[in-house]
Amino acid sequence: MSIKYVESSKLPTSWGTFEMHGFADDEADKEHVVLTMGNLKADEPLLIRVHSECLTGDALFSLRCDCGAQLQSAMHKIAVAGRGAIFYLRQEGRGIGLLNKIRAYKLQDQGADTVEANEQLGFGADMRDYSILKPMFETLGIKQVKLMTNNPRKVKALQEIGIDVVERIQHETGRNPHNAHYLQTKKGKLGHLFEEGE
């Protein structure tokens, strides 16, 4: 595995001050960060979110997805808990990259759903690689977690790299008229678990 720890620094935010840990993936030429708060090695399982980069949602406030709202909610929940971690992975567009994501958006504008658009571009529905998390967890000494996610594939991926997921915490937020079809596709075709009404 080509993931290497680089450095850590403080990151003051609206929700409190996190510690930001940088990791370099030389093989894929990507950089990932982990935001942490509090004692990571206490006996209680650590509240975490594994979040894939979404420039459009996280930074440009897009309503086409729920990503930005999920990131902010995770930061808030960790701050309230006083300890936790957010693994921010540079895997834009479920791993297809930003420019291909824009191409996929164009296909969605023409009627395709998010899975169909990726497939029409020659990609799988979800190209993300969660095995890259293993050296990050090892570096930070995290072994037991409570995972904020609606995606059962993330639970399975963490278990496969040896992380004890003691609880999956429902993480629904950001539903709006612009992303209703997107969320329905995530539930129907990608197996995401939602409790809110359609």
pLDDT digits (tens, 9 = 90+) for 160-175: 999 999 999 886 665 6
Q: Cα–Cα distance between 64 and 55 in angstroms, integer? A: 12
Which residues are CB-neighbours of 40 under 8 A, at least 6 positions away?
A: 46, 83, 85, 140, 141, 142
Q: Name the residue range of residue 52's domain.
A: 3-91+128-190
* Annotated catalytic residue 128: yes
Please state the domain count of the chain. Answer: 1
Residue 122, domain member (yes or no): no
Nearest Cα to Cα of residue 100 among 108, 60, 88? 108
Residue 21, domain member (yes or no): yes
Residue 108, domain member (yes or no): no
pLDDT band at 46 (very low <50, low <70, confident <90, very high): very high
Q: Cα–Cα distance between 2 and 4 in angstroms, integer? A: 6
Q: Cα–Cα distance between 107 and 87 in angstroms, integer? A: 30
pLDDT band at 64 (very low <50, low <70, confident <90, very high): confident
Residue 22, domain member (yes or no): yes
Task: Output the domain CATH number for residue 160.
Answer: 3.40.50.10990
Contact between 163 and 145 (Cβ < 8 Å): yes
Residue tagged active-site, from 26, 126, 129, 164: 126
Highest mean pLDDT among 27-31, 45-49, 173-177, 178-182: 45-49
Residue 101, domain member (yes or no): no
Residue tagged active-site, from 128, 153, 168, 175: 128
Contact between 105 and 114 (Cβ < 8 Å): no
Contact between 85 and 36 (Cβ < 8 Å): yes
Residue 107, domain member (yes or no): no
Residue 105, domain member (yes or no): no
Residue 99, domain member (yes or no): no
